[in-house]
Structure 1
Amino acid sequence: MKKILVPTDFSEQAENALKVAAQLAKTYNCEIYLLHVIDLPLDEVDALNSHSEFPEAVFFMKLAHKKFEELKNRDYLKDLTVHETVDFHEIFKGVFHISKKNDIDLIIMGSNGVSGLKEMLIGSNTEKVVRTSEIPVLVIKNEHQSFHVDHFVFASDFKEESKPSYQHALNFAKAFGAKMHLLMVNTPHKFITSNDAKTRIDDFTSSFEFSDHTIHIYNDLSIETGILNFAESISADLIGMSTHGRQGISHFFNGSISEDLVNHANRPVITFKI
């Protein structure tokens, strides 16, 4: 892990994410890439890209760079290499382009979550990034004076398609020096016996060289509540899981457990694209 991207709208939640990024950057000798996306009408973006003097676009560019300078002077960023970028794409497109261009290893985002009708119809920017990102996304809700991961819950159905994302999770667990807690949630609608569940997890993990883990089969009314309740029961520092990146009508009808967790969990959540 050498390059961390932190999208920011200069909010308190975004700065919470940046503070975690700074701690990780100091520990693992990483560079930080700050990204701010300006939401402007297309004609204004075209005007700015053609180097015309478009007052509103120029104003927001200057304001963003001023806020970047204020951020970069924070004590917690001292002695770190911090790059800044202003983009005019939608947030998830901007994240995609900057990540590809700079070979980003980890995206860290702040979120305060949304709920109700707004959650159903719009979703948060963080959710959109989680849904579309090919790179692991770490979502931070609260301020962490000392970010550490001793207990890492990885929730999964432990089917073959999740093996690549589990490998990513293992890489982070090793980097953090964390103990992995492998979790399968049993629900009334998708019931599997404890014996069958343990056998599936054992088969799943047999091809990986990592033994510092525990196995848990947890019963609850839904997968999301099961993950949240189990994480609470062991005071987990981080919840990790795969995301399928559903789009369009499929996402509307099926939803995404990882996106719901990002919205509703108070603990940090890290997602890995299948």
Structure 2
Amino acid sequence: MKKILVPTDFSLEADQALKVAAQLAKKHDSEIYLLHMLDLPLDEVDAFSQYSELPEAMFFMKLAHQKFKKTMNQDHLKGITIHEIVDFNKTFTGITNTAKENGIDLIVMGSHGASGFKEVFIGSNTEKVVRTAEVPVLVIKNDHDEFIVNDFVFASDFKNDNKETYRQAVAIAKALEAKIHLLFVNTPNNFVTTATAKTRILDFIEGTPFENYTISIFNDETVEKGIMNFSHIIGADLIGISTNGRQGIAHFFNGSISEDLVNHAKRPVITFKI
């Protein structure tokens, strides 16, 4: 976790994500790449890239740097190496490209939470980033004076997921010094016996050394409700789920619950690409 990307529109939600990223950066001696996208028309972008004196582009660039300066003066960012990036590109494309170009290990983004995924930072682009990013994406819902994760729920069907998602989850758990709660949600329409579910989980985690975990088979009406209810019962600090590109978050679910889970969960959510 040496390189953390934080896309920002300088909103309260983006600042909350940056605050968490700062805590992680200090703990792990990481660098932060703070990215602001100027989503201008393509013809204006082309003109500006050729050092045009385009008034609109110049104005928004200066405004962005002013906001960066104000942001960088916050006390919780002192002592952290921060790379300031302003890019002219479509928001979603710019974030994913920046992550690839800079070898980013983790993307941290802010969210309004229950107000809907369309309200998430920089609109619906966040859904695209969460769904397709090659690296883990941590979605922050609230202000965290101290981002402490003791209990980390990793929900899966432990069948369709790639085992790499679990390896990534273990790496995060070790970094955060957290216990992983391996969660299988049983629903009326997709019932699996406890013995079968436990065997499936043990087969899934085989080959990835990590002792600080529990196994839970939880019954509920839907997978989404099961994840949220179980997380509430144990007081989880973080929920982890998988993404599968065009099929949406957590393709192990029957139907897409990606927006609902990320929107309705009151806890931070981290996603892993299958």
Q: Same fold (TM over 0.5)?
A: yes
2:156 maps to 156
Call closer, same or farther: CA 1:114–1:152 in 2, change over 3 Å.
closer
- Deviation by residue 1:205-250 (Cα, 9 ceiling, x = unmatched): 22221121111111111111111111011000110111112169xx
How do 1:52-201 and structure 2 match up within 5 A?
A: 52-113=52-113, 124-159=124-159, 161-201=161-201
**RMSD over equivalenced CA pairs, Å:** 2.1
1:230 matched to 2:230? The reply is yes
Q: Which amino acid aligns with 1:92?
A: F
Counterpart in 1 of 2:208?
A: 208
Go from structure 1 to structure 2 and tell me whether the alpha carbon gap of 1:99 and 1:11 turns closer, same or farther (over 3 Å shift): same
SS in 2 for 1:267: coil
Equivalent residue, structure 2, for 1:29: 29
Aligned to 1:243: 243
Rounded Cα–Cα distance in structure 1 between residues aligned with 2:117 and 2:146: 35
Q: Is the 8 A contact 2:161 2:242 kept in 1?
A: no
Aligned position for 1:263: 263
Paired with 2:114 and 2:266, the residues of 1 have a C-alpha distance of 13
* Preserved CA contact (<8 Å) 1:110 1:126: no
Rounded Cα–Cα distance in structure 1 between residues aligned with 2:105 and 2:58 = 31
3-state DSSP of counterpart to 2:33: strand
Is the contact made by 1:8 and 1:15 (CA closer than 8 Å) also made in structure 2? yes
Task: Report the Cα distance in structure 1 between the residues aligned to 2:116 and 2:94, rounded to whole angstroms.
Answer: 27
Letter aligned with residue 82 of structure 2: V
Give the Cα separation in 1 of the matches to 2:267 and 2:260.
Answer: 13
Unaligned 5+ segments in structure 2 are none
Percent of aligned positions that are identical:
65
- Secondary structure of the residue aligned to 1:246 is helix
Question: What whole-Å deviation, never above 9, does each CA across 1:156-197 have from its counterpart, x for those lacking one?
Answer: 011264310000000111111111100011112211111111
Check whether the contact 1:150–1:178 (CA below 8 A) recurs between aligned residues: yes
**Cα distance change, pair 116–12 in 1 and its aligned pair in 2 (3 A):** closer
| Alpha carbons 2:194, 2:217 under 8 Å: kept | yes
State how far apart, in whole Å, the 2-side matches of 1:118 and 1:9 are. 15
Counterpart position of 1:20:
20
Structure 1 counterpart SS, 2:245: coil
TM-score, with normalisation over the residues of structure 1?
0.92
**Deviates further, 133-142 or 105-114:** 105-114
Post-superposition CA distance 1:24-81 (Å, at most 9, x none): 0000000000001112111111111111111111100110011011111111001111
SS in 2 for 1:210: coil
Aligned length: 268
Give the Cα–Cα distance (whole angstroms) in 2 for the partners of residues 152 and 124 of structure 1.
26
State how far apart, in whole Å, the 2-side matches of 1:263 and 1:255 are: 16
